[in-house]
Amino acid sequence: MEISLKNKNILVTGASRGIGKAIAEETGKSGARVAVHYGKNKAEAEKIAKEIGNNSQAFGADLEKPEECKNLFEKVVKDFRRIDVLVNNAGVAILSPLDGDKWVEAWDRTMAINLRSVGILARLAIQHFRKIGGGKIINIASRAAYRGDTAEYLAYAASKGGVVSLSKSIARDFGKDNIVCFALAPGWVRTDMAKEAMDQDEYGEEFVMQGIALNRLTEPRDIAPIAALLASGLADHATGTTIDINAASYVH
């Protein structure tokens, strides 16, 4: 069955690169009008929005700041008139040794972007969806939510665990409002953020490849079609689930 997102407005955070960019492009290809959120790379976000077409636009916001999360959502609603799907993709993975002098700072920044902004935007989306008759939330979590991570990424794993719990709670409590929520749990994905993490690590891609069941590292294009399917409404009765997309490196 062909996926159609025609006449759907989708907000994708962190859409100027990596997984977010792939989701923005895939949903746009299916007919959606996409709000391409960026943190710093305005030029790239505007280029992506233009290439997607469908009157898509780029929107900037620093998701570490609660007021900017709110402003982002309100600006998209103002310009698009409505949001049908929210994809909470933006995130950071900060290398933070346990004995580092900036550990608390890294923890707070990770939680602010990876979890607090997701909660704020989800809350705003729920309030908006109740007014328009329903909607969908897709949160990008991680296999780390289930298997944990290394000592240097305690905050990352904890934040993604929170994303999974939040997603389940939204699904359970707001289904009768025609609001569904899903989480996707990638492992290592070939993105700039992952490359930065692997470059800082003592192992790198060769070591990462030993832990997956397939012959290549997961790429953003492997995740985007699943997000488009969930956005379409064809899988609404899977609300509350987390879908593993990590080449069987961890299956819960």
- The residues that bridge with 243 in the sheet, in sequence order, are 184
Could you write out the DSSP letters of every residue in 169-237? HHHHHHGGGTEEEEEEEE-SBSSHHHHHHHHHSSS-HHHHHTT-SSSS-B-HHHHHHHHHHHHHTTTGG
Element (H, E) at 139: strand 135-140
Q: Please confirm, yes or no, whether 250 is among the known catalytic residues.
A: no
Nearest by Cα to 173 from 130, 232, 224: 130
The Cα–Cα gap between 230 and 247 comes to 19
The active-site residue, picked from 153, 156, 203, 250, is 156
Nearest by Cα to 239 from 139, 158, 128: 139
Strands 135-140 and 85-88: parallel
The Cα–Cα gap between 147 and 186 comes to 12
The Cα–Cα gap between 230 and 159 comes to 23
Q: Annotated catalytic sites, by residue?
A: 156
